[in-house]
Amino acid sequence: MTNKRKNSKLKRKMKGGNVPMDTGAPIVNESISTSPQTNPISRTVEGGNSSYAKYNDSVYVSVIMAIGLMGVLWFMISRSMIKHKYSEVLSYSLLAIGVFLSLSLIIFKGVRQITPSNSIIGAIKNMIFVAKYLTIRSVPGLLILVQLAVLCYIMYNHADYIFTSENIPRMFGIFNAITIVMILAQCWVWKDKVKEIMSNIKAPNNPMILPGFILAAILSGIAISQLYIILEYLKTDC
């Protein structure tokens, strides 16, 4: 009877759940998550990039194009509404600044491809590489820049006559308009070339682009020479 009473008491305790069972396993606190996905300390910036986004090269090309378009716009305004001294010089200078900045972008592109060197020979080789890189890829831009430099020189030397004279030869306006149109055509081709170099965007594959550029350069050169002749020798004879 005594043994039966002891067994019945033990069964009651086990049914009530008052006696914890020791299984020998460690107690884990489920409220603490050890997953690396939820641990803020384990988070890293993907790719190690900065928080500040880098501008694409196309943005710089667009800014340069805007500068050139400002030159063309001012050329039209100054010839029709707001005439002032050195108006042609300012217009052609803005175009030249745009072309010069595009050449600077190409130089920076070449500089990014060289390996820095501490030796004098290595530095000289890097300079030769950048010069070669610019020369091979920038012949159209250099040709446009030469034309604009000649135009700025001619218009600057005869700025007083262009601004004050009321008897400007009619052919001056014709050749001046031909010059700006031909230079714009060359700049349009050059713009696609700069985008191809800077942004790896393939320029339009048109077999007429190169002949058209050469023809525009020839016509521009002829018009520039006629402007020089008119302003130097035929100011009142045309």
Residue 76 has pLDDT above 90, yes or no: no
Residue 91 Cα to chain centre, angstroms: 22
Q: How far apart are alpha carbons 140 and 213 in whole angstroms?
A: 8
Residue 42 is predicted with a pLDDT of 38
Region for residue 48 given its phi and psi (left: phi exceeds 0; alpha: psi -120 to 50; beta: otherwise):
left
Portion of the chain with pLDDT greater than 70, in percent = 71
pTM of the model: 0.68
Q: What does the mean pLDDT of the chain come to?
A: 75
Residue 6 has pLDDT above 60, yes or no: no
∠ Cα 192 197 202 (to 5°): 55
CA nearest to 145, candidates 216, 95, 104: 95
Residue 48 has pLDDT above 50, yes or no: no
How confident is residue 119, by pLDDT bands cut at 50, 70 and 90? confident
DSSP state of 83: -
How confident is residue 134, by pLDDT bands cut at 50, 70 and 90? confident
